[in-house]
Amino acid sequence: MLLAIHTTCIGKVGIAEENGLITNLFFEGELPVPEPYSEASALTCEAFRHLDAYLNGDLKTFSLPLSPPSTLFSARVRQALLLIPYGSTATYAAIAMAVGSPTAARAVGTVCSRNPMPIVIPCHRVVPSGSGFGGYRGGLKLKAALNIIENKAATA
């Protein structure tokens, strides 16, 4: 596995690649220690360009080769997350309905919390049915910031 690091407006981000596929995106507080970092490959450089463009509000969808999900349910949730329009949100319950498991809102939340590629697979667009903003691997402050970036760019 190759792990390259890049500094963005949200802090350091690590992107892991294996066999020509993006496998993980790590936020600054999640980066492995000690640092087994590699030189950026052509693919991780492309992923960082996508990420920078997204964070600047210039990119709405990522077109990168991604490692496959580990389970069929995770694959269905990932596909549903990718269908949430840029600048919009969906509830955990709505995603559960969309994947054909209407009582699985908590399971959707679990898949989102274990999303190996946050931002690229936009779990930050998923919110609870009630009040609040739900959880996010990168923290609620980052989840809110990503949604603000999208809302500004979508209405510009």
Catalytic residue among 9, 45, 112, 123: 123
DSSP per residue, 108-155? HHHHHHT-SSBTTB-GGGEE-SSSS----TT-HHHHHHHHHHHHHHHH
Specify the 3-state DSSP secondary structure of 3: strand
Give the whole-angstrom CA distance, residue 120 versus residue 63: 9
Strand-pairing partners, residue 91, are: 127
123 is a catalytic site residue? yes
Tokens found for residue 9: 């407006």
What residues act catalytically? Answer: 123
